[in-house]
Amino acid sequence: MDGTLAGTSLPFQPKVDVQDALAYTAKGQSAYITQGDQLLYLAPLYTMDQQPVGTVQFHVSLEEQHAFYERIRRLFWLVGAAVLVGGFLLGYLYVWRQANVITRLNRAVMRIGEGEYLREPTVRRKDELGELALGIFEMSGKIATTHAQLTDEKSKLIEAVTRLQELEQQQKLFIGNISHELKTPLTSILAYTDLLDMYRDDPALLDEACRQIGMEAERLYALVEKSLKLSSMDVYEFETHAASVDLKPLLEKAAARLQARAEQQGIQIVTDLQDGKVWADADNVMHMVMDLLDNAVKYNRPDANHGQGYRYRHSAGGTGLHL
């Protein structure tokens, strides 16, 4: 037990200081020493009666174990790197898919904002993004329905406003026309009233005045009735009924209706008419002739042509209006 080498089965003796290890084995303890790829194991050796007789030394090469550990380490790094790269690629793919879905949803919302509504969901997925896409699609449908209703209401409103504007213009024109139509018979009635006041003892004038006043009153009544009827129907245009109109009696009647007013102005209405017929509305023709005669009487000037198709002549007997 003094550390002397008794024998060895190794082809060479490792150059390792084993004195410290022998001190352990002398105390009955095992010891081992590693150096590079070599492992020396020392254990105490006993006799049958448990008396220490020496130390046995085993030499083991650790080269294969080190190579195994190196392979394990490299494999660990390789697997770790592969897992890292794979995880990165999977994460990138997942994020890219999510970002792509979000981009498509964003474009869908922008299209809805521009008035291009969706016909189907942008994406079909069984997750939160799929539910969001379905919600956007349903929202698009509701917006499209509401927009169509608003557009229809807007069209109706524009149509109603246009109709009201047309009615307003028609009302103004109607009021102007009816005022003018009412003025002519009222003027004749007032003229005959003045003549009756001036010539109370003229039976012929009395009969003619009563007849003309009655005719003008009937005309006023007819105009008022027609105006009320048209107003109740929101129609502000007189209806026309074209037919064959005999001009001669119509013009004679018009001249007779304004004769009293003409006499007040010192004007004599002289008719020189021939038979003739036109296809027109009799009331409209009468209104037109009455307007022309009324203006001719109102704005008469001796021997002047006012553009109404009438000519005024002045002589010693007075001013004459010729048809």
Q: Which residues, 6+ apart, have CB-to-CB distance to 265 below 8 Å?
A: 297, 300, 319
The residues spanned by each domain of the chain are 1-61, 246-252+262-323
DSSP summary character for residue 129: H
Residue 35, pLDDT score: 75
- Whether the Cβ atoms of residue 77 and residue 71 lie closer than 8 Å to each other: no
pLDDT band, residue 13 (cuts 50/70/90): low
Helix axes 128-198, 282-298, angle to 10 degrees: 60
- Whether the Cβ atoms of residue 223 and residue 284 lie closer than 8 Å to each other: no
Model confidence at 102: pLDDT above 50? yes
Query: Can you name the residues that pair with 267 across neighbouring β-strands?
Result: 319
- Whether the Cβ atoms of residue 17 and residue 31 lie closer than 8 Å to each other: no
Residues in the chain: 323
Residue 318, pLDDT score: 44
Place of tokens 């149509």: 159
Q: pLDDT tens digits, residue range 211-228?
A: 878 887 888 887 787 777
pLDDT band, residue 316 (cuts 50/70/90): very low
- Whether the Cβ atoms of residue 292 and residue 255 lie closer than 8 Å to each other: no
Residue 156, pLDDT score: 92
pTM: 0.41
Helix (H, G, I), strand (E, B) or coil at 283: helix
Q: How far apart are CA 313 and CA 301, in angstroms?
A: 9
- Kindly state the average pLDDT of the residues 90-116: 87
Residue 313, pLDDT score: 44
- Kindly state the average pLDDT of the residues 241-269: 78
Q: Take residue 226 and report the two structure tokens written for it.
A: 């027609």
Q: Take residue 291 and report the two structure tokens written for it.
A: 């307007």
- Whether the Cβ atoms of residue 39 and residue 54 lie closer than 8 Å to each other: no
Q: Which residues, 6+ apart, have CB-to-CB distance to 271 below 8 Å?
A: 251, 252, 255, 322, 323
pLDDT band, residue 237 (cuts 50/70/90): low
Q: How far apart are CA 101 and CA 128, in angstroms?
A: 11
- Whether the Cβ atoms of residue 43 and residue 24 lie closer than 8 Å to each other: no
Residue 239, pLDDT score: 61
Residue 303, pLDDT score: 45
Q: How far apart are CA 232 and CA 226, in angstroms?
A: 10
Residue 72, pLDDT score: 93
Q: Which residues, 6+ apart, have CB-to-CB distance to 253 below 8 Å?
A: 286
- Whether the Cβ atoms of residue 285 and residue 273 lie closer than 8 Å to each other: no
Q: Pick the more confident residue, 58 or 2.
A: 58
Q: How far apart are CA 169 and CA 109, in angstroms?
A: 46
pLDDT band, residue 14 (cuts 50/70/90): low
Model confidence at 309: pLDDT above 50? no
pLDDT band, residue 15 (cuts 50/70/90): low
Q: Which residues, 6+ apart, have CB-to-CB distance to 236 below 8 Å?
A: 167, 170, 171, 173, 174, 230
pLDDT band, residue 137 (cuts 50/70/90): confident
Q: How far apart are CA 69 and CA 64, in angstroms?
A: 9
H or E segment to which residue 79 belongs? helix 63-113
Model confidence at 4: pLDDT above 60? no
Model confidence at 181: pLDDT above 80? no
Q: Take residue 264 and report the two structure tokens written for it.
A: 């007040």
Amino acid type, 113: G
